[in-house]
Structure 1
Amino acid sequence: MQLFSYITWTADPELFSFGPISVRYYGLFFAIAFLLGYYIVERMFRRENAPEAWVDKLFVYVMVATVVGARLGHVFFYGWEYYSQHPGEILKIWQGGLASHGGAFGILIAMWLYSKNVTRRSMLWTMDKLVIPVALAAVFIRLGNLMNSEIVGMPTDLPWGFAFVKAHGIANPELPRHPSQLYEALSYLITFAVLMYMYWKRNAARRQGLIFGVFLIGIFATRFFIEFIKEDQEAFEAGMMLNMGQWLSIPFIVGAIYLIYRSMTREPIEVDITRNERRRVEK
C-alpha cells in the first residue's frame, strides 16, 4: 500500500515579471549559486593566504567558461544536426539549451588558462577549491531544472513519483515519473558536504587532486547511474546502449580514478594556511 499518492507538479518556471522582463527560478538559482560560490572560494583563498584579486579574476573565468562551454556542449553534443543548419540560433542562449558536460569542459580549459596567467600555480591547486562550490551550484541547477519541468525521469509507480504535466517533448506527461532532478540534487548536496569536510576538517588540500577526484566521482558517477532512469533528452539517443550523458561522463570518471590514485601515492605537500588555521590543524 502506498503511503501517499504521486505529486502533480505544476510549478511555474517564472518567479515574477515586470512588463517584458521576467525572472525565472532557473536564473535566480544560477545567480545564488555564483554568489555562494564566491563567498566559499574567498574564504578558502584567504585561509591559504592567496591574493584577494585572484578571486575576482577566477569568477570572471568561471562565469564565461560555464556559459560558453555549456552552450557549445549542447550545440555539439545534443543539437548539432539542427544548429549546423541554423548557426545563428547558437547565440540565442535565452531560448534554453545548456549541457553540464560542456560547462565542465569549458571550466577545465578556463582553469588551465587561469593557472597559467594568474596564479602560476598547479591547476590542481585551483581545482581542489573551485569544485567545492561547483558541487553546490549543481544542486541549484537541478532544482532549476525541476522548476522548469525538464530532464525528467521515466514513469514509476513509486509513491514519490512526480507527474510533470507541464513538461514538453515527452509522451504521457500525466504519468508519475522519477523526480530525477531531486535524485541528482540530493547526490550533489552530499558530494558538497563531503568535499567541505575534506577541505576544512581533514586538510585534504595537502594531497593535490584528491578533492577534485572525489568531486568527479560524486558528480559524474552519480550522473551515469541516474541516467538509466531518465528520459532521453534527444531523439537520437533512443536505442543507444548508453545515452550521450553517460558516454560523456565516462572520461570524467576515469580521470577521477587517476587523480585519486595519484594524490594518495604521492607525498602530501605543505599548504600555506593562516596562523589561526594552522594552530587548529596542528591540534
Structure 2
Amino acid sequence: MIDLLNYIVWNPDLEAFHLGPIAVRWYGLMWIIGLATAYFVVKRLYKEQKIKDEYFDPLFLYCFFGILIGARLGHCIFYEPDYFLTSGKGLIEMILPIRFLPEGGFKLIGYAGLASHGGTLGLMIALWLYVRKTKLSIWTVLDNIAIATGTTACFIRLGNLMNSEIIGKVTDVPWAFIFEHVDKVPRHPGQLYEAIAYAILFGIMWYLHKKMPEKIGTGWYFGFCLAYIFTFRFFIEYTKEIQEAFEATLPLDMGQILSIPFIIIGVYCMIRAKKLEQV
C-alpha cells in the first residue's frame, strides 16, 4: 500500500479563477504569462540594440500564431495521426478547438494537445516570415528570441504540471508526485524537471548576453538554446511515460526522435558562429 505521506499529493483545481461565466484555466494562464514575459524581454533587447519600435510591434503576433499553430499541428501529426488525419471530422478538430460528440453536435474544449517540437518549428517559420517583411537580420531575431525562450518554456511546463499531463514514470524518489487526476501512483514530476531546466536556461542566457553582446546576430544564442533544450528533453524523456501507445514499439520515444534534428541544428549554429568569429 502506498504511503501518501512519503510523497507530494498533487490535486490542484484546473481553473485559476472566473471572469463572470468564463473559467480561466491554469494552463491557458501559464501560456499567457510565458508569452508576456518573453514579450517584455525581447522588447528590452530590441531597445538595447536600438532596433526601431515599428519592427518590434508585429513580432508578438508572428510568434504567438507560429507557436500555437505549429504546436497544434505538431501534436496532431506526430502523436495522433490515426485520429486527426483519417477523417473529415478529425481534420476539423485539428484546426478548431472543438470535439465532435458521439451523439451529435460538438463541444468547445480548447486545443487539448500541443507539441513543443511543432511549436519550435512553427516559431522558426513565423520568424522567417517576419524577417522577410521587416528586412532585419534573421540571426539577430533568432538570437533575441532564443534569449527569451527559457522563460516561456518554463511557464508552459508549469501549465502542464497544473493540468497533471505529460506525467513521469512510476518511482519511489521522495519528491515523487501523486497525480490525483491520473492514477494516484507516485511518479516523476517530469513537467517540473523541465520547468526548472528552462528557468536555469533563461538565467544562463541573460547572463551570457550581458557578457557577450557581440555574439547577438551570429546565431550562437539560437544554437545554444536549441542544443540545451533538446538535449535536456532527450534525456528527460527516460523519466516520462510515453504519450501514445505506438511509441512503446520504438527504440526511442517520439519526443526523443524529434529532439535529435534540433540538437544537430543547434550544434551547427554554434559551430557556424564560432567560425564567423575567426574570419
> Are 1:110 and 2:126 counterparts?
yes
User: What is the CA distance between 1:36 and its match in structure 2?
Assistant: 1.3
Mapped to 1, the partners of 2:274 and 2:111 lie a distance apart of 44
Match of 1:130 in 2: 145
Q: How many residues align?
A: 261
Can you list the C-alpha shifts for 1:194-251, whole angstroms capped at 9, x where unaligned? 1111112222535611111110122111111000110011111112111111111100
Match of 1:212 in 2: 222
Match of 1:25 in 2: 26
User: What is the CA distance between 1:80 and its match in structure 2?
Assistant: 1.2
Secondary structure of the structure 2 residue equivalent to 1:132: helix
Can you list the C-alpha shifts for 1:62-110, whole angstroms capped at 9, x where unaligned? 0110111111111111111101222121123304111111111111111
> Are 1:38 and 2:39 counterparts?
yes
Deviates more, 1:209-218 or 1:148-157: 209-218
> Are 1:147 and 2:148 counterparts?
no
Mapped to 1, the partners of 2:216 and 2:273 lie a distance apart of 9
Match of 2:80 in 1: 79
Secondary structure of the structure 1 residue equivalent to 2:58: helix
Mapped to 2, the partners of 1:206 and 1:149 lie a distance apart of 37
Match of 1:263 in 2: 273
Mapped to 1, the partners of 2:216 and 2:96 lie a distance apart of 43
Distance 1:83 1:135, change over 3 A: same
Unaligned runs of 5+ in 1: 168-172, 270-283
Secondary structure of the structure 2 residue equivalent to 1:17: strand
> Are 1:197 and 2:207 counterparts?
yes
> Are 1:180 and 2:195 counterparts?
no
Mapped contact 1:6–1:162 kept (Cα < 8 A): yes
User: What is the CA distance between 1:6 and its match in structure 2?
Assistant: 0.7
Can you list the C-alpha shifts for 1:4-23, whole angstroms capped at 9, x where unaligned? 71111111111122454110
Match of 1:240 in 2: 250
Mapped contact 1:208–1:268 kept (Cα < 8 A): no
Secondary structure of the structure 1 residue equivalent to 2:277: coil
Superposed, 1:65-104 pairs within 5 Å as: 65-84=66-85, 85=87, 86-93=90-97, 94-104=110-120
Match of 1:170 in 2: none
Q: CA RMSD for the aligned pairs?
A: 1.7
Secondary structure of the structure 1 residue equivalent to 2:178: strand
User: What is the CA distance between 1:59 and its match in structure 2?
Assistant: 0.7
What TM-score do you get using the length of structure 1 for normalisation?
0.88
Would you identify which runs of 4 or more consecutive aligned residues in structure 1 move more than 6 Å?
none
Mapped to 1, the partners of 2:36 and 2:217 lie a distance apart of 27
Mapped contact 2:67–2:123 kept (Cα < 8 A): yes
State the percentage of identical aligned residues: 44
Mapped contact 2:223–2:266 kept (Cα < 8 A): yes
1:53 maps to a residue whose letter is: E
Match of 1:9 in 2: 10
Mapped contact 1:16–1:22 kept (Cα < 8 A): yes
